Amino acid sequence: MNTQTILEKYIENIIQIMTPYGTGTGFIIDDLIITNSHVVGGLKEVVIASKEIKRKVSKVIYDDQYLDLAFIKLDNYQPKTALILSQTMVEDGDTTVAIGHPYGLNYSATEGIVSKASRFQDNLEYIQTDTAINPGNSGGPLLNDNGEVVGVNTFIIQNANNLGFALPYFYVEEAIKSFKELKREDIIKCTSCKNLIDEENIKNDYCPNCGTKLEVAKLRRKGYKPSGATKLLETILEKLDIDVNLARRSQVSWLIDRQSARVEINYYENGVIIGDSKLCGIPQNNIEDIYDYILSENNSLSYLQFSINENSIYLSYLIVDTSLTIDEGTTALKRLFELSDKYDNILIEKFGAIKQKKQED
Protein backbone atom coordinates (compact mmCIF):
# COMPACT_ATOMS: atom_id res chain seq x y z
CA MET A 1 0.00 0.00 0.00
CA ASN A 2 1.26 3.49 -0.63
CA THR A 3 1.44 6.05 2.14
CA GLN A 4 -1.75 7.85 1.12
CA THR A 5 -3.75 4.62 1.08
CA ILE A 6 -2.38 3.63 4.49
CA LEU A 7 -3.30 7.03 5.92
CA GLU A 8 -6.83 6.93 4.52
CA LYS A 9 -7.43 3.33 5.63
CA TYR A 10 -6.20 3.68 9.20
CA ILE A 11 -6.78 7.35 10.00
CA GLU A 12 -9.64 6.52 12.37
CA ASN A 13 -7.14 4.64 14.55
CA ILE A 14 -4.96 7.68 15.04
CA ILE A 15 -5.57 9.62 18.24
CA GLN A 16 -4.42 13.08 19.27
CA ILE A 17 -3.47 13.23 22.94
CA MET A 18 -3.37 16.52 24.82
CA THR A 19 -2.09 17.29 28.29
CA PRO A 20 -1.16 20.59 29.95
CA TYR A 21 2.46 19.69 29.17
CA GLY A 22 2.07 19.14 25.44
CA THR A 23 0.52 17.05 22.71
CA GLY A 24 1.34 13.69 21.24
CA THR A 25 -0.07 10.83 19.23
CA GLY A 26 -1.63 7.48 20.06
CA PHE A 27 -3.22 4.63 18.11
CA ILE A 28 -5.92 2.08 18.73
CA ILE A 29 -5.14 -1.58 19.28
CA ASP A 30 -8.23 -3.57 20.41
CA ASP A 31 -9.83 -1.55 23.20
CA LEU A 32 -6.71 0.40 24.12
CA ILE A 33 -5.03 3.55 22.93
CA ILE A 34 -1.29 2.93 22.81
CA THR A 35 1.09 5.84 23.28
CA ASN A 36 4.32 6.84 25.02
CA SER A 37 4.54 7.30 28.77
CA HIS A 38 6.17 10.69 28.23
CA VAL A 39 3.15 11.81 26.20
CA VAL A 40 0.72 11.29 29.11
CA GLY A 41 3.14 13.13 31.42
CA GLY A 42 2.39 11.09 34.55
CA LEU A 43 -1.27 12.12 34.52
CA LYS A 44 -4.25 9.90 35.33
CA GLU A 45 -6.39 11.64 32.75
CA VAL A 46 -5.64 13.14 29.35
CA VAL A 47 -7.72 14.66 26.57
CA ILE A 48 -8.12 12.60 23.42
CA ALA A 49 -9.60 13.32 20.02
CA SER A 50 -9.69 11.66 16.62
CA LYS A 51 -11.52 11.89 13.32
CA GLU A 52 -14.42 10.05 14.92
CA ILE A 53 -13.96 10.86 18.61
CA LYS A 54 -14.83 14.35 19.80
CA ARG A 55 -12.47 15.83 22.34
CA LYS A 56 -13.01 14.05 25.62
CA VAL A 57 -11.20 13.18 28.80
CA SER A 58 -9.93 9.64 29.00
CA LYS A 59 -8.18 7.58 31.70
CA VAL A 60 -4.55 6.51 31.55
CA ILE A 61 -4.80 2.92 32.80
CA TYR A 62 -1.23 1.71 32.29
CA ASP A 63 1.98 3.67 32.65
CA ASP A 64 5.37 2.15 31.96
CA GLN A 65 8.28 4.58 32.15
CA TYR A 66 10.81 1.80 31.49
CA LEU A 67 9.51 1.08 27.98
CA ASP A 68 8.11 4.62 27.65
CA LEU A 69 4.72 3.09 26.99
CA ALA A 70 1.24 3.98 28.23
CA PHE A 71 -2.30 2.72 27.60
CA ILE A 72 -5.37 4.92 27.59
CA LYS A 73 -8.84 3.51 28.05
CA LEU A 74 -10.99 3.51 24.92
CA ASP A 75 -14.71 3.38 25.60
CA ASN A 76 -17.32 2.21 23.14
CA TYR A 77 -15.50 2.82 19.94
CA GLN A 78 -14.05 0.59 17.29
CA PRO A 79 -12.68 1.92 14.02
CA LYS A 80 -14.02 0.46 10.78
CA THR A 81 -10.61 -0.90 9.81
CA ALA A 82 -8.65 -1.87 12.89
CA LEU A 83 -4.88 -1.50 13.10
CA ILE A 84 -3.01 -4.62 14.07
CA LEU A 85 0.44 -5.28 15.46
CA SER A 86 2.86 -6.84 13.00
CA GLN A 87 4.10 -10.33 13.71
CA THR A 88 7.35 -10.07 11.80
CA MET A 89 10.36 -7.91 12.46
CA VAL A 90 11.30 -5.29 9.91
CA GLU A 91 14.55 -5.49 8.03
CA ASP A 92 17.08 -2.82 7.10
CA GLY A 93 15.83 -0.85 4.11
CA ASP A 94 12.13 -1.73 4.59
CA THR A 95 9.69 1.09 3.85
CA THR A 96 8.02 2.61 6.91
CA VAL A 97 5.31 5.18 7.44
CA ALA A 98 4.81 7.33 10.54
CA ILE A 99 1.44 8.93 11.25
CA GLY A 100 0.97 11.57 13.90
CA HIS A 101 0.43 15.18 14.81
CA PRO A 102 3.90 16.80 14.59
CA TYR A 103 3.85 20.35 15.96
CA GLY A 104 0.05 20.06 16.12
CA LEU A 105 -0.24 19.41 12.35
CA ASN A 106 -2.99 16.83 12.55
CA TYR A 107 -2.77 13.50 10.78
CA SER A 108 0.51 14.00 9.02
CA ALA A 109 1.97 10.93 7.33
CA THR A 110 5.67 10.70 6.54
CA GLU A 111 7.50 7.98 4.70
CA GLY A 112 11.02 6.59 5.12
CA ILE A 113 13.00 3.44 5.50
CA VAL A 114 14.36 1.32 8.32
CA SER A 115 17.91 2.57 8.79
CA LYS A 116 18.73 -0.22 11.24
CA ALA A 117 16.21 -2.84 12.32
CA SER A 118 17.74 -3.41 15.71
CA ARG A 119 19.53 -0.67 17.59
CA PHE A 120 20.18 -1.12 21.32
CA GLN A 121 19.77 1.73 23.75
CA ASP A 122 19.82 1.16 27.55
CA ASN A 123 19.29 -2.59 27.07
CA LEU A 124 16.22 -2.06 24.93
CA GLU A 125 15.94 -2.74 21.25
CA TYR A 126 14.69 0.00 18.92
CA ILE A 127 13.99 0.32 15.22
CA GLN A 128 16.06 3.14 13.79
CA THR A 129 14.29 4.92 10.95
CA ASP A 130 14.82 7.94 8.75
CA THR A 131 11.06 8.52 8.59
CA ALA A 132 10.52 12.15 9.61
CA ILE A 133 9.50 12.16 13.26
CA ASN A 134 9.01 15.44 15.07
CA PRO A 135 7.67 16.64 18.43
CA GLY A 136 3.99 15.65 18.46
CA ASN A 137 4.70 12.36 16.63
CA SER A 138 5.62 10.70 19.92
CA GLY A 139 3.42 7.73 20.72
CA GLY A 140 2.26 7.37 17.13
CA PRO A 141 2.55 4.19 15.08
CA LEU A 142 5.39 3.26 12.75
CA LEU A 143 3.79 1.12 10.04
CA ASN A 144 5.15 -1.24 7.41
CA ASP A 145 3.90 -1.10 3.83
CA ASN A 146 1.11 -3.54 4.73
CA GLY A 147 -0.20 -0.99 7.20
CA GLU A 148 0.76 -3.11 10.25
CA VAL A 149 2.23 -1.52 13.36
CA VAL A 150 5.92 -2.37 13.58
CA GLY A 151 6.71 0.06 16.40
CA VAL A 152 5.77 3.06 18.53
CA ASN A 153 7.60 6.26 17.57
CA THR A 154 9.38 7.08 20.79
CA PHE A 155 12.33 9.42 20.46
CA ILE A 156 14.60 11.27 18.09
CA ILE A 157 18.13 12.52 18.40
CA GLN A 158 17.77 16.26 18.66
CA ASN A 159 19.55 18.56 16.24
CA ALA A 160 20.24 15.58 14.00
CA ASN A 161 18.56 14.77 10.71
CA ASN A 162 16.30 11.77 10.26
CA LEU A 163 17.37 9.83 13.31
CA GLY A 164 14.13 8.49 14.76
CA PHE A 165 13.63 5.48 17.03
CA ALA A 166 10.55 3.32 17.48
CA LEU A 167 9.85 0.77 20.20
CA PRO A 168 9.30 -2.54 18.35
CA TYR A 169 5.85 -4.19 18.23
CA PHE A 170 6.88 -7.23 20.32
CA TYR A 171 7.45 -5.09 23.44
CA VAL A 172 3.99 -3.61 22.92
CA GLU A 173 2.40 -7.02 22.40
CA GLU A 174 4.01 -8.38 25.54
CA ALA A 175 2.97 -5.33 27.59
CA ILE A 176 -0.65 -5.57 26.40
CA LYS A 177 -0.73 -9.27 27.25
CA SER A 178 0.71 -8.78 30.76
CA PHE A 179 -1.61 -5.86 31.43
CA LYS A 180 -4.72 -7.70 30.27
CA GLU A 181 -3.88 -10.73 32.37
CA LEU A 182 -4.20 -8.60 35.51
CA LYS A 183 -7.77 -7.60 34.58
CA ARG A 184 -7.23 -4.38 36.49
CA GLU A 185 -6.83 -0.73 35.56
CA ASP A 186 -4.37 1.83 36.98
CA ILE A 187 -1.30 -0.30 36.59
CA ILE A 188 2.22 1.07 36.92
CA LYS A 189 5.33 -0.79 35.87
CA CYS A 190 8.25 -0.49 38.27
CA THR A 191 11.28 0.91 36.46
CA SER A 192 13.58 -1.18 38.65
CA CYS A 193 12.09 -4.67 39.22
CA LYS A 194 9.83 -4.39 36.14
CA ASN A 195 6.85 -5.81 38.02
CA LEU A 196 3.40 -4.55 37.22
CA ILE A 197 1.88 -2.91 40.28
CA ASP A 198 -1.70 -2.05 41.02
CA GLU A 199 -1.67 1.64 41.93
CA GLU A 200 -3.89 0.88 44.92
CA ASN A 201 -1.06 -1.08 46.51
CA ILE A 202 1.49 1.71 46.27
CA LYS A 203 2.28 3.44 49.58
CA ASN A 204 4.17 6.76 49.62
CA ASP A 205 5.12 6.23 45.99
CA TYR A 206 7.39 3.23 46.74
CA CYS A 207 7.30 0.00 44.77
CA PRO A 208 5.84 -2.62 47.14
CA ASN A 209 8.13 -5.27 45.63
CA CYS A 210 11.56 -3.66 45.43
CA GLY A 211 11.18 -0.41 47.38
CA THR A 212 12.16 1.87 44.50
CA LYS A 213 10.64 5.35 44.53
CA LEU A 214 8.20 5.47 41.63
CA GLU A 215 8.25 8.88 39.99
CA VAL A 216 5.17 8.15 37.93
CA ALA A 217 3.20 7.18 41.06
CA LYS A 218 4.04 10.52 42.61
CA LEU A 219 3.05 12.41 39.46
CA ARG A 220 -0.26 10.54 39.21
CA ARG A 221 -1.00 11.18 42.89
CA LYS A 222 -0.32 14.89 42.59
CA GLY A 223 -2.01 15.41 39.23
CA TYR A 224 -1.99 18.71 37.40
CA LYS A 225 -2.76 21.68 39.62
CA PRO A 226 -2.82 25.11 38.03
CA SER A 227 -1.80 28.03 40.20
CA GLY A 228 -1.82 31.84 40.20
CA ALA A 229 -3.36 33.57 37.22
CA THR A 230 -3.75 30.24 35.40
CA LYS A 231 -5.91 28.93 38.22
CA LEU A 232 -7.94 32.14 38.27
CA LEU A 233 -8.42 31.97 34.54
CA GLU A 234 -9.60 28.35 34.72
CA THR A 235 -11.99 29.26 37.55
CA ILE A 236 -13.44 31.95 35.29
CA LEU A 237 -13.80 29.47 32.42
CA GLU A 238 -15.54 26.99 34.73
CA LYS A 239 -17.92 29.77 35.82
CA LEU A 240 -18.76 30.16 32.15
CA ASP A 241 -19.60 26.42 31.93
CA ILE A 242 -16.50 25.55 29.99
CA ASP A 243 -14.86 22.20 30.58
CA VAL A 244 -11.31 23.39 31.23
CA ASN A 245 -9.86 19.94 30.75
CA LEU A 246 -11.11 19.94 27.19
CA ALA A 247 -10.29 23.58 26.57
CA ARG A 248 -6.74 23.39 27.92
CA ARG A 249 -4.08 23.13 25.20
CA SER A 250 -1.13 23.64 27.46
CA GLN A 251 -0.46 25.14 30.87
CA VAL A 252 -0.78 28.59 29.31
CA SER A 253 -3.24 28.22 26.46
CA TRP A 254 -6.88 27.30 26.05
CA LEU A 255 -9.11 26.89 23.02
CA ILE A 256 -12.86 27.24 23.21
CA ASP A 257 -15.30 26.64 20.37
CA ARG A 258 -18.63 28.38 20.73
CA GLN A 259 -20.92 28.04 17.75
CA SER A 260 -19.05 29.46 14.75
CA ALA A 261 -16.53 31.33 16.90
CA ARG A 262 -13.27 29.91 18.16
CA VAL A 263 -11.59 31.72 21.05
CA GLU A 264 -7.95 31.14 21.89
CA ILE A 265 -6.69 32.31 25.25
CA ASN A 266 -2.96 32.62 25.79
CA TYR A 267 -1.07 33.62 28.90
CA TYR A 268 2.28 35.09 27.89
CA GLU A 269 5.53 35.21 29.84
CA ASN A 270 5.33 39.00 30.16
CA GLY A 271 2.15 38.58 32.21
CA VAL A 272 -0.30 39.55 29.48
CA ILE A 273 -3.37 37.37 28.98
CA ILE A 274 -4.95 37.61 25.55
CA GLY A 275 -8.25 36.10 24.53
CA ASP A 276 -8.39 36.23 20.74
CA SER A 277 -11.26 35.36 18.52
CA LYS A 278 -10.18 35.22 14.91
CA LEU A 279 -13.27 36.27 13.04
CA CYS A 280 -13.65 36.52 9.31
CA GLY A 281 -11.17 37.58 6.63
CA ILE A 282 -11.13 40.98 4.93
CA PRO A 283 -13.31 40.90 1.79
CA GLN A 284 -12.26 42.21 -1.61
CA ASN A 285 -14.95 44.88 -1.67
CA ASN A 286 -16.40 47.28 0.91
CA ILE A 287 -13.13 47.14 2.80
CA GLU A 288 -13.22 50.70 4.09
CA ASP A 289 -16.83 50.18 5.25
CA ILE A 290 -15.65 47.30 7.42
CA TYR A 291 -12.84 49.44 8.86
CA ASP A 292 -15.32 52.22 9.65
CA TYR A 293 -17.70 49.78 11.28
CA ILE A 294 -15.20 48.06 13.55
CA LEU A 295 -13.50 51.32 14.51
CA SER A 296 -16.87 52.70 15.47
CA GLU A 297 -17.77 49.55 17.42
CA ASN A 298 -14.46 49.84 19.29
CA ASN A 299 -15.67 53.12 20.71
CA SER A 300 -18.58 51.51 22.52
CA LEU A 301 -17.05 48.13 23.35
CA SER A 302 -15.74 47.77 26.84
CA TYR A 303 -13.10 45.16 27.69
CA LEU A 304 -13.02 44.05 24.04
CA GLN A 305 -11.46 45.46 20.92
CA PHE A 306 -11.35 44.87 17.21
CA SER A 307 -8.05 44.65 15.40
CA ILE A 308 -6.61 43.35 12.15
CA ASN A 309 -3.75 40.94 11.78
CA GLU A 310 -2.65 39.27 8.58
CA ASN A 311 -5.85 40.07 6.75
CA SER A 312 -8.15 38.69 9.43
CA ILE A 313 -10.35 40.56 11.85
CA TYR A 314 -9.88 39.77 15.51
CA LEU A 315 -12.04 40.49 18.50
CA SER A 316 -9.86 40.36 21.59
CA TYR A 317 -9.72 40.77 25.33
CA LEU A 318 -6.35 41.75 26.78
CA ILE A 319 -5.47 42.00 30.43
CA VAL A 320 -2.35 41.90 32.58
CA ASP A 321 -2.36 38.97 35.02
CA THR A 322 -2.10 41.16 38.13
CA SER A 323 -5.24 43.04 37.11
CA LEU A 324 -7.37 39.97 36.38
CA THR A 325 -10.33 39.52 38.72
CA ILE A 326 -13.10 36.95 38.67
CA ASP A 327 -15.74 39.59 38.01
CA GLU A 328 -13.94 41.40 35.20
CA GLY A 329 -12.61 38.20 33.65
CA THR A 330 -16.03 36.56 33.68
CA THR A 331 -17.79 39.58 32.20
CA ALA A 332 -15.13 40.12 29.56
CA LEU A 333 -14.78 36.52 28.41
CA LYS A 334 -18.55 36.00 28.44
CA ARG A 335 -18.83 39.02 26.15
CA LEU A 336 -16.03 37.71 23.96
CA PHE A 337 -17.75 34.32 23.51
CA GLU A 338 -21.13 35.89 22.79
CA LEU A 339 -20.04 38.79 20.63
CA SER A 340 -17.54 36.81 18.55
CA ASP A 341 -20.32 34.83 17.03
CA LYS A 342 -22.59 37.82 16.65
CA TYR A 343 -19.97 40.01 14.98
CA ASP A 344 -18.73 37.20 12.76
CA ASN A 345 -22.25 36.90 11.36
CA ILE A 346 -22.68 40.66 10.94
CA LEU A 347 -19.36 41.06 9.17
CA ILE A 348 -20.05 38.18 6.80
CA GLU A 349 -23.69 38.98 6.08
CA LYS A 350 -23.56 42.77 6.00
CA PHE A 351 -20.08 43.42 4.65
CA GLY A 352 -19.30 40.29 2.70
CA ALA A 353 -16.32 39.34 4.88
CA ILE A 354 -14.82 35.93 4.22
CA LYS A 355 -15.68 33.10 6.60
CA GLN A 356 -12.62 31.46 8.14
CA LYS A 357 -11.89 27.81 7.50
CA LYS A 358 -11.25 26.01 10.75
CA GLN A 359 -8.87 23.15 11.35
CA GLU A 360 -10.87 20.43 13.05
CA ASP A 361 -9.38 18.09 15.69
Report the catalytic residues.
38, 68, 138
> 282-311 mask for another protein (x: CB under 8 A)?
-----xx--xx-xxxxxx--x--xxxxx--
Residue 239 found at the interface with another protein (CB under 8 A): no
Q: Is residue 264 close enough to count as binding another protein by CB under 8 A?
A: no
Nearest approach in angstroms of CB 229 to another protein is 12
CA distance 21 to 154: 17
Enumerate residues 6+ apart whose C-beta is below 8 A from 328: 303, 319
**Residue 210 Cα distances to 114, 147, 189, 216, angstroms:** 38, 40, 12, 15
Burial track 328-350 (b if 16+ CB lie within 10 A, e otherwise): ebeebbebbbebbbebbbbbbee
Instruction: Between 182 and 308, name the residue whose CB sits nearer to another protein.
Output: 308
Q: What are phi and psi of 282, to 5 degrees?
A: -65, 130
Q: Quick check: 87 binds another protein (CB under 8 A)?
A: no
Which region, judged by CB under 8 A, interacts with another protein, from 21-29, 197-205, 315-323, 334-342? Answer: 315-323
Q: Shortest Cβ distance from residue 265 to another protein (Å)?
A: 15
Q: How many CB atoms lie within 10 A of CB 318?
A: 14
Q: Which is nearer to another protein, 66 or 293 (CB)?
A: 293
Q: Which is nearer to another protein, 88 or 307 (CB)?
A: 307
Q: What's the CA angle centered on 16, arms 232 and 102, to 5 degrees?
A: 100
Question: For the chain, what is the largest distance between any 2 Cα atoms, rounded to a whole number of angstroms?
Answer: 73
Q: Is 224 in the site for another protein (CB under 8 A)?
A: no
Name the residues that contact another protein, by CB under 8 A.
Answer: 272, 287-288, 291-292, 294-299, 302, 305-309, 314, 316, 318, 320, 322-325, 327-328
